[in-house]
Amino acid sequence: MLAALLNGKPTTATQPTNLFGDGLFETIAIRQGQPCLWTYHLQRLQQGCRRLGYPAPEPDQLLAEAQQLAHPHTQAVLKIVLSIPPVPRGYQRPAEALPNRYLSCLPWPQQPLYQAVDIPIHLQTCQTRLGCQPLLAGIKHLNRLEQILARRELQPPADEGVMCDQQGSVIEGIMSNLLLLDAAGYVTPPVEACGIAGVVRQLMLDMAAQQGIPVRVATQSLAELRQAQAVYVMNSLLGVRPVASLDGLAYASVRLPHFLRQVHQACFELASPV
């Protein structure tokens, strides 16, 4: 950890969290001293606060704190955690409980995947499936056992895992959203019943709408995923990346089309202030 703020005050402590994952988080790329895709991250955090019944963070204050941490760094990671303080026992949130606001700045990941943008991703199908829970779908909450169990399944050379819902429909990656290109065009699975509404996924949908590029939102079978012309993964630290293989089976096209190169660039150019 490079630096951290707890409710606005510098701290060297790790984040104070409650036992039951009663919280939200955002993982944000820092480029040239600014948090990237700030508006998208803020909107998802606000949506999460509504769902979990937290007061929304004050946007100007949150941005000021994010910029304070981001300012010294050309390239780093900003993590925001809103979480209810620890409770001794039981599921009852104390009436007066307000989430702690913990922002920390971490070094940019060392793995090659995060160092070079032209490294394609190897996918592996995970046995761990996502539970259907519309109350928690979309938001980036802190109940992440499904992702932790799925992550344990990955074997080299897989960089990322494909997660399905209980019916076996493809929903997302463990740490990313998925975009497929098939004969009918682009398609990305819905995240209303399970999965996370990724900021890059939303940016991609917004840019596609602006440019008149149709993107369907629909679950895909594993067979459809395998038979896609191309597959891409998206998240705030990777941007948009082409997928080289799924379970060892190579995809024909492993390059970003012009539109997705634009989205990728926008991931790291759309720094705040916005």
Could you list the residues that contact a second copy (CB under 8 A)? 1, 14-15, 17-23, 25, 27, 52-53, 77, 79, 81, 83, 86, 88-93, 106, 109, 128-133, 135-136, 141-152, 166, 174-175, 194
Q: Catalytic: which of 26, 65, 160, 172?
A: 172
Peptide bond before 156: cis, by omega within 30 degrees of 0? no
Question: Whole-number minimum distance, CB 21 to a second copy, in Å?
Answer: 3
Distance CA 270, CA 89 (A): 43
**Both tokens of residue 185?**
């065009």
Reply yes or no on whether 27 is catalytic: yes
Q: Report the side by side order of strands in the sheet with 23-31.
A: 9-10, 3-6, 100-107, 75-83, 23-31, 34-35
**Both tokens of residue 116?**
């070079």
Q: Among residues 4 and 240, whose Cβ is nearest to a second copy?
A: 4
Question: Whole-number minimum distance, CB 52 to a second copy, in Å?
Answer: 7
**C-alpha distance from residue 123 to each of 225, 230, 252 (Å):** 11, 12, 14
Question: Whole-number minimum distance, CB 202 to a second copy, in Å?
Answer: 21
Quickly tell me which residue has 């204050």 as its tokens.
Answer: 61
Q: Among residues 135 and 183, whose Cβ is nearest to a second copy?
A: 135
Q: Among residues 48 and 242, whose Cβ is nearest to a second copy?
A: 48
Question: Whole-number minimum distance, CB 182 to a second copy, in Å?
Answer: 28
Reply yes or no on whether 96 is catalytic: no
Q: Catalytic: which of 27, 39, 125, 219?
A: 27
What angle do helix axes 38-52 and 199-211 make, rounded to 10 degrees?
Answer: 120
Reply yes or no on whether 224 is catalytic: no
Active site residues: 27, 140, 172
